[in-house]
Structure 1
Amino acid sequence: MTQWIKQRISEFSWRKFAVSSVGLLTLMGILSFVIYEVTKISVTVEVENELTTVYTHASTVGEVLEERGIDVNVHDYIEPSENTALAEAMNIVYIPAQEVIVNVENDERTVWTIASTVQELMDELGIEVTEYDVIEPSLNENIVGNMQVNYQSAFPIILFSDGEEKEVWTTSTTVADFLERENIVLGELDRVEPSMEDVLESETEVNVVRVEKVTDVVEESVDFATVTRNDSSIERGSEKVLQSGKEGKIKKHYEVIFENDEEVSRELVKEEIVSESEDRIVAVGTKDPAPTVSRGSNVPAGEWMTFNATAYTAYCNGCSGTTYTGINLRENPDAKVIAVDPNVIPLGSRVEIDGWGTYLAADIGGAIKGKKIDIFIPDRDRVMRFGRQNVRIRIVD
């Protein structure tokens, strides 16, 4: 009996001890878990604008990101840096970089960026985009991996077109491309300076020349010719108009070129006769006059007398150019000759005209009668200005 009791006491003691050991281990495990959890620090992780609160035993920023399964690239943005020791309530910002192909002025390169929009990317690259520049995609487009961004900066061009001068900002490389972008259409004859293939640079002057070709028809008068015929029935020195002259008409067709509304060339391409001219026919007397008083004129030699004077040229209407005494005035324009009435001043006389000098009485005229003389002057304009005036003359010999 006593032995049985001792055995039971012994079994109870071992069971109690076993139960106490299991409880102690459990308690220690719970305590360890609690202590582990309680000793974690709290940090905030911001990934692409998304905030997450993290409790961790990590010692550095890099370890926290590794716990989050974030594979950090050398181009990524991390604040604070990866090797920064953690502290309670620390805020960690992580922005993954993206690879973007950027083509700036036809210079293509690959860049890594943390920009969220094309505008931010341009800011990162130090490129100021103006309203005239060309950029694709647009500035407010979101950045995605392997995106291609094309940028061309605009420059000023001086444009002369259709009577206007203005400054135009463009990204065109050639004159042809510039005109197309500005919706400037050239006509068949129009041209542009410089040529269409020329490369544009800042401040290049582009001149659009509008060319127009027109036909201009002008009606002009055609002078009639004067034809002289010798007539033995008319006294020498007199003449008679047998047929009045009549002007003809002719149409001239010109090809006229205008550049920017200004005439630059005119070429005669055709003539068309509207009406023929008719010659003026003049009969010139060849009949010798009745014998005249020679040297015994009624004008005393050496005595000053007043005569009425006119002037004529060798090319007056009906004039042959040769004097009554045979002097060719067209071949001798400097000859000092006057026409006289041979009944008053004998032909061949040397006559002094006050203020004009000495002249030879070598010609006659149908209207030169009495105390009249006609002075030969080779210049038609001087003849016209001379008109009719009184002069003092005397016969020298």
Structure 2
Amino acid sequence: MKNLFSIKLGKGKVLLLVACLLLAGTGTAYGAHEFTKQSITISINGKEKTIRTHEETVAQLLSDLGIRTRAEDHISPSLNTKIQDNMNIVYDAAIPVHLTLDGKEKTIWTTDQTVGALLKNEKIDIGKHDQVTPEKNDKIKKNMNLVVQQAFQVSLKDGGKDKKVWTTSTTVADFLKQQELRLKKHDKIKPALHSNISKESADIQITRVEKVTDVVEEKIAFDTKHKKDRSLEKGKEKVLKKGEEGKLKKHYAIVKENGKVVSKELIKEVTEKDSKDRIVAIGTQVSKKEPKASPAVSRSNESSGKEFYVASTAYTASCAGCTGRTSTGFNLKANPGAKVIAVDPSVIPLGSKVYVEGYGYAVASDTGSAIKGNKIDVFVPSKSAAYQWGNKRVKIRVLK
């Protein structure tokens, strides 16, 4: 029987036919291979894409994609999960963050998006006064430097006033800067500015030092000069010129600590006005009616009076402890010009008339607790006159 389907082909045509058959077979095989792949949607660091794979697990898929995973990476579902068609896979690679916590450094690998989330996952509690740099809402970046300074309380004594202050500073100088506290030139601080502080040693004391110059004005008492006057009856006095007080300014260097004076030093005195002497005329004229004393009579004779020297001071009607009346009842306040002296009655009897050098004729009408022995206290109308009299030795004559 003849083969009705036999066809005679040339050599070239045979080769072409074989090639076509092989290509068709390969295409069919490739199509079959692709058809059996699983379709996967994967998000890599936020970028999403769809791929087809024959890999059996998530780990194999990531390895096939050239991704080297770390324990800190975020992978969902887990690495050993079987691949299924239409599966969604999320991969976020952990990045390094350099954390400094209270001066101690370490590197953390994280997939957290913000500083706050990282701190929460690391179980680092942030208090009201703690300092975080960058801030908690800032996004995490690769190789970011994150600094956390946890606050502690400082016992501050500033100018004598105590208070508690929260701080993250590690030195005294930085603490002052953080609290906006300024030291003046002479202020003192403990511990020193360069000293470290921590919650174990957190006591700071500031002493506010003030150096000032204080000027005090004082009066310069005037002296009394006596001048003999032959035209004036003996025993009488006349003020020829009133005395004038001078002015003296004393300059003091004063140091105050926390408002209290701790030292006061006189640095100079300046006379603003000199005092002027008080000039008093003392009468030396002997009255013609006065009989001449007998040469035979001694100065200590009772007829001419007994003379002797006494210590003398002066007082006023308003002195401390004074009532304004003498021990004999005489009203000094009502008689500011009276000539009265206080005496020791055992030396000069009360009621005696006396003549006091530089004071004139007077009556012994008063006593005093400090007037003992040869001592008298002359009554003057003002404190300035009392200061002017001072404490001096004078001659006194007791008259009949």
1:4-62 superposed Cα distances (whole Å, 9 cap, x missing partner): x75x56955999xx999999987776665454444333333221122223332222111
When residues 182 and 100 of structure 1 are mapped into structure 2, their CA distance, relative to the original with a 3 A threshold, is same
The answer as to whether partners of 2:224 and 2:277 remain within 8 angstroms in 1 is no
The answer as to whether partners of 2:225 and 2:277 remain within 8 angstroms in 1 is no
TM-score for the superposition, normalised by structure 1:
0.59
1:212 matched to 2:202? The reply is: no
When residues 291 and 97 of structure 1 are mapped into structure 2, their CA distance, relative to the original with a 3 A threshold, is closer
1:294-313 superposed Cα distances (whole Å, 9 cap, x missing partner): xxxxxxxxxxxxx945699x
1:147-206 superposed Cα distances (whole Å, 9 cap, x missing partner): 332332334446666999876543222221223344544332233344323333459465
The answer as to whether partners of 1:337 and 1:376 remain within 8 angstroms in 2 is no
The answer as to whether partners of 1:248 and 1:278 remain within 8 angstroms in 2 is no
Task: Report the identity percentage.
Answer: 31
Distance apart, 1:97 and its partner CA: 1.4
AA of the residue aligned to 1:377: S
1:290 matched to 2:289? The reply is: no
When residues 275 and 12 of structure 1 are mapped into structure 2, their CA distance, relative to the original with a 3 A threshold, is same
The answer as to whether partners of 2:243 and 2:275 remain within 8 angstroms in 1 is no
Aligned length: 318
AA of the residue aligned to 2:213: T
1:143 matched to 2:156? The reply is: no
Q: Which residue in 1 is equivalent to 2:268? A: 270
Q: Which residue in 1 is equivalent to 2:250? A: 252
Please give the alpha-carbon distance, in whole angstroms, between the structure 1 residues aligned to 2:252 and 2:340.
37
Q: Which residue in 1 is equivalent to 2:369? A: 377
Distance apart, 1:264 and its partner CA: 4.1
Q: Which residue in 1 is equivalent to 2:384? A: none
The answer as to whether partners of 1:158 and 1:204 remain within 8 angstroms in 2 is yes
When residues 223 and 155 of structure 1 are mapped into structure 2, their CA distance, relative to the original with a 3 A threshold, is same
AA of the residue aligned to 2:51: V
When residues 72 and 280 of structure 1 are mapped into structure 2, their CA distance, relative to the original with a 3 A threshold, is same
Q: How does 1:1-397 map to 2 (within 5 A)?
A: 6=2, 11=6, 32-129=29-126, 132-157=129-154, 169-202=166-199, 204=202, 206=204, 208-223=206-221, 247-259=245-257, 263-273=261-271, 274-276=273-275, 278=277, 288-290=301-303, 308-309=328-329, 339-341=349-351, 367-368=362-363, 374-378=366-370
Please give the alpha-carbon distance, in whole angstroms, between the structure 1 residues aligned to 2:203 and 2:371.
54
Give structure 2 stretches of 5+ with no counterpart. 228-232, 285-298, 306-326, 333-338, 354-359, 379-400
TM-score for the superposition, normalised by structure 2:
0.59
Q: Which moved more, 1:148-157 or 1:22-31?
A: 22-31
The answer as to whether partners of 1:311 and 1:375 remain within 8 angstroms in 2 is no
Distance apart, 1:135 and its partner CA: 3.7
Please give the alpha-carbon distance, in whole angstroms, between the structure 2 residues aligned to 1:189 and 1:119.
45
Please give the alpha-carbon distance, in whole angstroms, between the structure 2 residues aligned to 1:342 and 1:251.
45
1:221 aligns to what SS in structure 2?
strand
Distance apart, 1:282 and its partner CA: 11
Distance apart, 1:74 and its partner CA: 3.3
Q: Which moved more, 1:148-157 or 1:243-252?
A: 243-252
Please give the alpha-carbon distance, in whole angstroms, between the structure 2 residues aligned to 1:241 and 1:125.
103
When residues 246 and 20 of structure 1 are mapped into structure 2, their CA distance, relative to the original with a 3 A threshold, is closer
Distance apart, 1:252 and its partner CA: 1.0
Look at both structures and tell me which one has the larger radius of gyration over its CA atoms.
1
The answer as to whether partners of 1:101 and 1:111 remain within 8 angstroms in 2 is yes
AA of the residue aligned to 2:91: Y
When residues 311 and 228 of structure 1 are mapped into structure 2, their CA distance, relative to the original with a 3 A threshold, is farther
When residues 379 and 77 of structure 1 are mapped into structure 2, their CA distance, relative to the original with a 3 A threshold, is farther
